[in-house]
């Protein structure tokens, strides 16, 4: 599944960052690297962009960019 498909409040672990060139480099520079835990915090009123929590900070990302990030859900204990 991709990051844009994750529900609000759910946690996931990044598997891979797809894409190429400047977009991929920018996503990696923002901390969206494999094995990082992310959580969808909220979405804008029209659904785009989405706000993520990762590495103790909040990041806002467009859904088009989030489609390049493959994740797996993490079940909370």
Number of domains in the chain: 1
Domain that holds residue 25: 3-73
**pLDDT over 80 (residue 42):** yes
Strand ranges, E, within the chain: 11-17, 37-43, 50-54, 57-61, 69-73
pTM: 0.85
User: Does residue 43 contact residue 8 with C-beta atoms inside 8 Å?
Assistant: yes
Q: Any residues with CB less than 8 A from the CB of 22 and at least 6 apart, and which?
A: none
Per-residue pLDDT tens for 4-39?
899 999 999 999 999 888 989 998 998 999 999 999
Instruction: Give the CATH number for residue 7.
Output: 2.30.30.90
């Amino acid at each position: 599944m991709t990051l844009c498909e994750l529900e609000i409040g759910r946690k996931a672990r990044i598997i891979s960052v797809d894409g190429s060139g400047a977009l991929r480099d920018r996503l990696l520079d923002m901390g969206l690297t494999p094995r990082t835990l992310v959580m969808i915090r909220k979405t804008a009123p029209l659904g785009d962009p989405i706000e993520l929590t990762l590495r103790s900070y909040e990041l806002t990302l467009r859904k088009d960019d989030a489609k390049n990030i493959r994740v797996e859900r993490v079940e909370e204990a």
